[in-house]
């Protein structure tokens, strides 16, 4: 079984600062991590490999420094890592990104594609589903458990707002995983020892068959007009009250702001 896992390197914080002049994220000095939903999906791929045997290929699209993440994935047990990287791919929105990823994946053999639900920097949850659409394969999003998998089909637990849905889907298909699906394993010492002996395949624009007008910043229909941090308009009220009055005041305030109903 061939499993492809789509992963993204993201800044290690949910409180990114924005450059007020350019409206872009300030990335310098912020450590990066592998996006948690993606890493949990990767762990599921490794568990399938451990139980049934599979080849796990990790794919990421990003700048050359994303190789650092791929070394860690090798150290955790990935069989192959592919970095999709070209200045022409830069600045892509989710649509252009999924066009690029689909073009790369079209050249590969796969039975299952696992992508994280969404990345903690952009929070769009679009790249996985769009990639499935462009590959013309079925997809199940918000997967929080794999109940069964064989060469023909997969049965999963999909998280809904207040419940779960059990769904079955023929392979090949794409699933997007929640970070709660599995706790990622540690790298192993031996894995690290050999992570640097392995090749990271770099796929550039010239390696894939794609219309240049649907990739990168130019091919992205999303145009960021302005990004800003919401200013705080009101100063906090500081009240000193006894516990009973404090509790009442908190409830009244929550009702006033419509955080809770009466």
Partner 1 sequence: MLNNGMNFDLNEKQTLMRKLFREFAEKEVKPLAAEIDEEERFPIENVRKMSELGMMGIPFESKYGGSDGDNLSYILAVEELSKVCATTGVILSAHTSLCCNPIYAYGTDEQKMKYLVPLAKGEKLGAFGLTEPNAGSDAAMQQTTAIKEGDYYKINGSKIFITNGGYADIYIIFAMTDKQKGTRGISAFIVEKDMDGFSIGKIEKKLGIHGSSTAELIFKDLYVPKENLLGQEGKGFGIAMSTLDGGRIGIAAQAVGIAQGALNETIKYVKERKQFGRPISAFQNTQFIIADLQTKIDAARLLVYRAAYLKDTNQSYTTEAAMAKLFAAEVAMETTTKAVQLHGGYGYTRDYPVERMFRDAKITEIYEGTSEIQRLVISNKLLK
Q: Using the rule CB under 8 A, which residue among 3, 5, 66, 75 binds partner 1? A: 75
Q: Which stretch binds partner 1 (CB under 8 A): 53-61, 107-115, 184-192, 229-237?
A: 184-192
Establish if 257 lies at the interface with partner 1 (CB under 8 A): no
DSSP run (H or E) holding 156:
strand 153-159
Token pair for 250: 């908190």
Task: Tell me the number of residues near partner 1 by CB under 8 A.
Answer: 14
What is the C-alpha separation between 117 and 96, in angstroms, rounded? 18
Q: Using the rule CB under 8 A, which residue among 54, 66, 69, 71 binds partner 1? A: 71
- Which residue, 75 or 210, has its beta carbon nearer to partner 1? 75
Binding mask 26-55 toward partner 1 (x if CB under 8 A, else -) reads ------------------------------
Q: Quick one: which of 52, 41, 242, 16 has its CA closest to 60?
A: 41
Min dist CB 40 to partner 1, Å, is 16
Establish if 196 lies at the interface with partner 1 (CB under 8 A): yes
- Structural contact between residues 52 and 1, judged by C-beta atoms closer than 8 angstroms: yes
Supply angle C-alpha 32, 125, 231, rounded to 5.
Answer: 70
Establish if 188 lies at the interface with partner 1 (CB under 8 A): yes
What is the C-alpha separation between 166 and 188, in angstroms, rounded? 34
DSSP code, position 242 = -
What is the C-alpha separation between 193 and 188, in angstroms, rounded? 9
Establish if 190 lies at the interface with partner 1 (CB under 8 A): yes
What is the C-alpha separation between 220 and 222, in angstroms, rounded? 5
Establish if 193 lies at the interface with partner 1 (CB under 8 A): yes
- Which residue, 78 or 96, has its beta carbon nearer to partner 1? 78
Establish if 111 lies at the interface with partner 1 (CB under 8 A): no
Which residues touch 175 (CB under 8 Å, ≥6 apart)? 41, 112, 113, 114, 115, 139, 140, 141, 143, 146, 154, 156
Token pair for 249: 């005041």
Establish if 143 lies at the interface with partner 1 (CB under 8 A): no
Min dist CB 64 to partner 1, Å, is 14
Q: Using the rule CB under 8 A, which residue among 20, 27, 153, 194 binds partner 1? A: 194
Establish if 228 lies at the interface with partner 1 (CB under 8 A): no
- Which residue, 71 or 88, has its beta carbon nearer to partner 1? 71
Which stretches of the chain bind partner 1, using CB under 8 A? 71-72, 75, 186-196
């Amino acid at each position: 079984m061939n499993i492809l896992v789509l992963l993204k390197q993201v800044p290690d914080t949910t409180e990114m600062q924005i450059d007020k002049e350019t409206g872009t994220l300030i990335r310098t000095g912020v450590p990066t991590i592998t996006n948690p939903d993606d890493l949990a999906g990767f762990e599921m791929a490794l568990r399938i490999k451990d139980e049934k045997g599979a080849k796990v290929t990790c794919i990421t699209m990003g700048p050359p420094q994303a190789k650092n993440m791929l070394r860690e994935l090798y150290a955790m047990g990935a069989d192959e890592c592919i970095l999709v990287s070209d200045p022409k791919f830069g600045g892509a929105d989710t649509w252009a990104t999924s066009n690029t990823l689909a073009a790369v994946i079209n050249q590969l053999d796969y039975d299952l594609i696992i992508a994280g639900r969404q990345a903690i920097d952009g929070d769009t949850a679009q790249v996985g589903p769009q990639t499935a659409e462009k590959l013309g394969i079925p997809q199940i999003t918000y997967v929080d458990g794999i109940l069964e998998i064989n060469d023909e089909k997969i049965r999963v637990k999909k998280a809904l707002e207040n419940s779960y849905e059990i769904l079955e889907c023929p392979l090949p298909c794409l699933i997007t995983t929640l970070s709660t699906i599995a706790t990622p394993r540690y790298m192993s010492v031996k894995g690290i020892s050999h992570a640097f002996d392995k090749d990271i395949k770099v796929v550039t624009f010239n390696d894939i068959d794609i219309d240049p007008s649907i990739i990168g910043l130019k091919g992205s229909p999303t145009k960021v007009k302005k990004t800003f941090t919401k200013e705080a308009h009101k100063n906090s009220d500081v009240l000193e009250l006894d516990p009973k009055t404090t509790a009442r005041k908190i409830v009244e305030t929550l009702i006033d702001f419509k955080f809770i109903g009466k």
